Chain A
């Protein structure tokens, strides 16, 4: 059974055209994360939500925003996608934020910017 779901799996957008990626979870986990993964690189954390508290990584561009309207859903908004934003975007969840929590990843959304 799918536990962390991402839609769509593939997204094509145009340079500068806003795009939203979505993530949902059936685990009832408190924490949701968004990662960017470029080809042949490690996942890079963009931000996370601990419940409703939003936490941005220091080097996450302002072009990236996120919303978490409820426990189950989290959205990644890219306001003006550039060619360099083409990547796989991974959503992950963890039960809590204790420092020893397993993160469970969704299947990812591959974003192509034309």
Chain B
């Protein structure tokens, strides 16, 4: 089954700086990689995802890059704001033929004003 590792576990940045969170996965056949943001006491919300036919995807201040050869993908947040403070989870499919997800352990991002 898929194994997903996420780093760092905590990340503190100053408002306006960039933040980068990295994940590695084990199954080279995986082809879908979502990122979820979870604020304290709330549901995980999908913020961006990438499929294996592209290497990068951007949505305003958020971007995700995928390196299938190295089996890692990264979340990039530019011009961070205090409201970006949350726990971020990466995920990958447990198997290629289904939609069950394995989540990384999460990164607590704190953006200091």
Nearest Cβ distance between residue B110 and chain A, in whole angstroms?
14
Q: Is there contact, CB below 8 Å, between A105 and B98? A: no
Question: Which residues of A sit under 8 angstroms from B43, Cβ to Cβ?
Answer: 90, 105-108
The docked-state distance in angstroms from the alpha carbon of A25 to that of B31 is 27
Q: DSSP majority for the A interface?
A: loop
Contact A100 B31, CB 8 Å, known A42-B89, A105-B43 = yes
Q: Is there contact, CB below 8 Å, between A94 and B99? A: yes
Q: Is there contact, CB below 8 Å, between A103 and B105? A: no
Question: Which residues of B sit under 8 angstroms from A41, Cβ to Cβ?
Answer: 105-106
B58 interfacial contact with A, CB 8 Å: no
Q: Is there contact, CB below 8 Å, between A99 and B98? A: yes
Q: Which residue of B lies closest to A104 (CB)?
A: B46
Total number of A-B contacts with CB less than 8 angstroms? 57
Q: Which residue of A lies closest to B9 (CB)?
A: A40
B57 interfacial contact with A, CB 8 Å: no
Q: Is there contact, CB below 8 Å, between B99 and A45? A: no
Q: Is there contact, CB below 8 Å, between A100 and B46? A: no
Question: Which residues of A sit under 8 angstroms from B81, Cβ to Cβ?
Answer: none
The docked-state distance in angstroms from the alpha carbon of A48 to that of B31 is 20
Question: Which residues of A sit under 8 angstroms from B93, Cβ to Cβ?
Answer: 99-100
A54 interfacial contact with B, CB 8 Å: no
The docked-state distance in angstroms from the alpha carbon of A77 to that of B70 is 41
Q: Which residues of A contact B (CB under 8 A)?
A: 31, 33, 40-45, 48, 90, 94, 96-108
